[in-house]
Amino acid sequence: MAVILRAEGVHLSYGEYRAVCGADLTLHCGEVAAIMGSSGSGKSSLLYCLAGVLPPTEGAVFFDGLQLSSMPDGELSALRRERLGFVFQYGELLPELSAEENAALPMRLAGIRKEHAHAAAGQVLRRLGLGNHLRTRTSKLSGGQSQRVAVARALAHRPDVVFADEPTGALDSVNATAVLDEFLRLARRQKTAVVLVTHDSDVAARADSHYTMSDGVLARRVIA
Ligand SMILES: Nc1ncnc2c1ncn2[C@@H]1O[C@H](COP(=O)(O)OP(=O)(O)OP(=O)(O)O)[C@@H](O)[C@H]1O
Ligand SMILES: [Mg+2]
């Protein structure tokens, strides 16, 4: 499989504080990589670097061979919108918009026509069991339903890589398992690679590759 994302010696400092210390990671097309580690170990910071949200203090991240930190801002934003997706811990939806409008938003921002964007968003929302809520404002959805909309928003434009930072951290364990199952099934179906931060070792066990973060140091774990 081709390499889609590669981090080489990534460091990230906030002032004097080193949050990420020399991380190396290679992600292939369609691969699901899980990152575990205690609170404050630098997982979110690493994700921000991998996704081109924060430039590394040292080292480099290459997406499809392009070094993110050397791209002009406009190109980097377009790449993030069109080829990457994000699922945040609390979903971060726009409450006044419907499920379909929220899930279609990245495509709309990328200039895709409304009919097409809504059709793609609707299809993914239906696969996630939200067919009856396409037009419901997300302020009226439950936690689990909202998190499914956040998953749909990250996947509907068929990105190459989705970054998911404890995407079900706000849900009870039954709901969390259901949403994660659907997320991973859909990502695998459309061959979207995933970098998943999780506290749940059962979830991590379903990934193709496994990393742990400890005091800013990322280590690959090989499971026999
Ligand atoms: N903007 C910031 N400015 C200064 N320090 C920061 C900033 N963001 C994070 N940190 C520090 O960097 C370290 C790593 O934070 P990070 O959010 O990456 O950890 P994490 O592994 O994602 O934790 P959690 O599991 O709680 O989400 C922490 O000690 C945190 O206090
Ligand atoms: Mg975090």
Pairwise CA distance, residues 214 & 130, whole Å: 38
Nearest Cα residue to atom 29 of ligand 1: 40
The closest alpha carbon to 57, from 12, 26, 93, 90, belongs to 12
Give me the pLDDT at residue 224, please: 66
Residues lining ligand 1, judged by CB closer than 6 Å?
14, 17, 19, 37, 39-45
Give me the pLDDT at residue 175, please: 82
Percent of the chain beyond pLDDT 70? 100
pLDDT band at 90 (very low <50, low <70, confident <90, very high): confident
Pocket test of ligand 1: the residue of 10, 12, 45, 50 to mutate, having most ligand atoms within 8 Å of its CB, is 45
pLDDT band at 179 (very low <50, low <70, confident <90, very high): confident
Helices (H), the chain: 43-50, 73-83, 99-109, 114-127, 143-155, 173-189, 201-204
Q: Is the pLDDT of residue 157 over 70?
A: yes
Q: Tell me the average pLDDT across 172-179.
A: 84
Nearest Cα residue to atom 6 of ligand 1: 14
The ligand placed nearest to the CA atom of residue 37 is: 1
Q: Convert the pLDDT of each residue in 115-156 to its tens digit.
A: 999 999 999 999 999 999 999 999 999 989 999 999 999 999
Nearest Cα residue to atom 30 of ligand 1: 40
Alpha-carbon dihedral angle through residues 177, 204, 36, 145, given to the nearest 10 degrees: -20
Nearest Cα residue to atom 25 of ligand 1: 39
Least confident of 3-7, 56-60, 92-96, 208-212: 92-96
Q: Tell me the average pLDDT across 102-117.
A: 94
Give me the pLDDT at residue 89, please: 75
pLDDT band at 169 (very low <50, low <70, confident <90, very high): confident
- 20-26, long-range: CB within 8 Å, 24+ apart, which pairs? 20/45, 20/46, 20/49, 20/56, 20/216, 20/218, 21/215, 21/216, 21/217, 22/58, 22/59, 22/217, 23/49, 23/59, 23/217, 23/218, 24/218, 25/50, 25/211, 25/218, 25/220
Topology of domain 3-221, per CATH? Answer: Rossmann fold (3.40.50)
Q: Is the pLDDT of residue 193 over 90?
A: yes
Q: Tell me the average pLDDT across 190-200.
A: 94
